Amino acid sequence: MPSFDVVSELNYHELDNVLDQANREVGTRFDFKGTDANFEHKDKTITLQAAAEFQVKQMLDIFNGKLAKRGIDIRCFKVDPPVQSGSRVRQVLTIQEGIEGELGKKITALIKDSKLKVKASIQDNKVRVSGDKRDDLQAVMALLRKENFALPLQFNNFRD
């Protein structure tokens, strides 16, 4: 029985490239000279640090531009407001991965409402879709691409 998985994953290798390029650009820009502004990546968070709030906003724009060039969706990150602490301003970006319960239920309900002859089930942080025909599975993929979810969706593990 053909099947595939609907997931929301982030390519960490590309993210490391984005952070490296963004740190280099911040280090070479004239308006950041001598400010010790940088990007830090730890576990599921990215921290932007600079001397002033406008610099943190510029760093976020640089980061978003680098993400777009590398093909990473901006919706993978939850952006917290900038926080002043002493003489530094910090902004935290939290990486969002996996399809949690509410989004999984929304995806399965959308698939069931489409009246296609497929079966969708939530498994951990992904939704497995299976059906008798490959064409039905491709129709489900097209349906999910049209919808605008809070997280970017990818389709993997396609089995015939």
Q: 44-100: per-residue pLDDT in tens?
A: 999 999 999 999 999 999 999 999 999 999 999 999 999 998 889 999 999 998 888
Q: Which two tokens stand for residue 105?
A: 């239920």
Boundary (domain end) residue, out of 41, 73, 95: 95
Shared domain check, 146 and 76: no
Shared domain check, 78 and 22: yes
Report the alpha-carbon distance of residue 151 to residue 45 in Å, rounded. 16
Shared domain check, 140 and 122: yes
Q: Which two tokens stand for residue 48?
A: 């932007």
Q: 3-44: per-residue pLDDT in tens?
A: 999 899 999 999 999 999 999 999 999 988 888 899 999 989
Q: Which helix (H) or strand (E) holds 47?
A: strand 45-50
Shared domain check, 87 and 29: yes
Q: Which domain holds residue 140?
A: 3-8+99-159
- What CATH number corresponds to the domain at position 119? 3.30.70.860
Report the alpha-carbon distance of residue 53 to residue 130 in Å, rounded. 49
Report the alpha-carbon distance of residue 23 to residue 134 in Å, rounded. 45
> DSSP per residue over 48-111, as a string?
EEESSHHHHHHHHHHHHHHHHHHT--GGGEEEPPPEEETTEEEEEEEE--S--HHHHHHHHHHH
Boundary (domain end) residue, out of 71, 95, 119: 95
Q: Tell me the pairing of strands 126-131 and 3-7.
A: antiparallel
